[in-house]
Amino acid sequence: MQKNKPVPLFKVFMPKSVWPPVKKTLFSGYIGQGPKVAEFEKALGKFIGNPLVLTVGTGTAGLQLALRLAGVNQNNEVITTSMTCTATNWPILAAGANPIWADINPETGNIDPASVARLITRKTRAILAVDWAGYPCDYQALKKIARTPEGKKIQIIEDAAHAFGATYKNKKIGQVADFTVFSFGAIKHLTTIEGGAVFVKSKKIYQRGKLLRWYGLDRETPQKDFRCHQDIKDWGYKFNLHDIAATIGLEQLKYVKDNLKIHRSNARFYRQQLKGLKGITLLKEKKDRLSAYWLFTIKVKKLNQFMKYLKDRGIDVSQVHARNDKHSCVRQFKRPLPQLEKFIKEMVSIPVGWWVTKEQREYIVKTIKKFCQA
Ligand SMILES: Cc1ncc(COP(=O)(O)O)c(C=O)c1O
């Protein structure tokens, strides 16, 4: 069966029930950022437990907005991870700031707080942490580091593109960092085709964020003639979400809890079944946080052979993201990252999402066990 019907690593979730509300919005006379965006933000705020939510056109735009709101400019450094999608780091370049690569914890793939601490300078304005595969970083340790002895508070920006629905110390991700950015791209837990959201912690920043995602214009106070009389004091972007995407998002929210349950049940199964296999190492997990398992990443000694073995047997596997510091556009920021170096030689992700059936996950485990015995 698996030869002709491979198990994919990603799959778009799009329930048929999106169609009637999408049709309604499409012909409602309002398709830009309007009432559906407001409704979606309210529902997202309720789901995450933080009403200060700014939806945006993509997760990448959300990161760019978050960096701006955090005060990052061309005089600053942002301590970040190279073990991520380029979407995490190119917004730092767009802000004119320097990305400073911290090393990772090879047991999780997440940024290592001890490495971050060694890189703080007077120029550090923000720490950008990515929840690899959906597993939250050590925010308690990062928050401690973010308060410098001089009393400066470095802003923590969490790239939670993989982590919708994850929890940290009994709080939903979106309530923890100064800024949390989600992606609602095509293959994410919750998709609006393209889209994203930035969760913030202060009302003042939230109000500024609303202006900056739309050129810097106030779209809420009643105006004399459209928005012609306004003076823009703080220029902004065109980063908003639109009502069609928000309509899809509202429908998706109804399913996301159940889908997350399947991601987690498959991950639990893998953790039981793959534990202790020769040549395979599971990533470490702490009891105080719960991954959203956008990916299920493992470390494998004979990586290339493993990937070929599984692909030949109809199981889609991938490293998903390449280290960002390999690109020539960031050549000048290169520095040694020994733990990341080791991690990347072994890590790979196997299918874990809502589409993976019990039969398929058993087949995946059986195939991995056979590889380990060979
Ligand atoms: C870690 C990470 N950050 C940010 C993004 C960017 O999200 P978007 O595609 O919505 O711009 C992605 C997309 O996959 C991602 O994996």
| 249: nearest Cα among 23, 39, 31 | 39
pTM summary value: 0.97
Q: From residue 110, how far is each of 86, 102, 160, 178, 287 by CA, in Å?
A: 15, 10, 12, 18, 16
What pLDDT, on the 0 to 100 scale, is given for residue 2? 47
Total number of residues shown for the chain: 374
Pocket test for ligand 1, best of 67, 130, 183 (most atoms within 8 A of CB): 183
Pair of tokens at residue 14:
């799009």
Q: What are the pocket residues of ligand 1 if the criterion is a CB atom closer than 6 Å to any ligand atom? A: 58-60, 84-85, 87-88, 130, 159, 161-162, 183, 185, 196
CA–centroid distance, 161 to ligand 1, in Å, is 5
d(CA 36, CA 223): 21
> Could you tell me the distance, in angstroms and rounded to a whole number, from the CA of residue 368 to the centre of ligand 1?
29
Give pLDDT, residue 4: 61
Q: Report the pLDDT value the prediction gives residue 224, as an integer from 0 to 100.
A: 76
- How confident is the model at residue 50, as a pLDDT? 98
Q: Which domains does the chain have, with CATH numbers?
A: 16-252 (3.40.640.10), 256-373 (3.90.1150.10)
pLDDT mean by block of 10 residues, the chain; 374 residues: 77 98 97 97 98 98 98 97 98 98 98 98 97 98 91 94 98 98 98 98 98 94 80 96 98 98 98 97 98 98 98 98 97 98 98 98 98 93
Give the pLDDT confidence of 217-266 residue by residue, as tens digits. Answer: 999 888 777 778 889 999 999 999 999 999 999 999 999 999 999 999 99
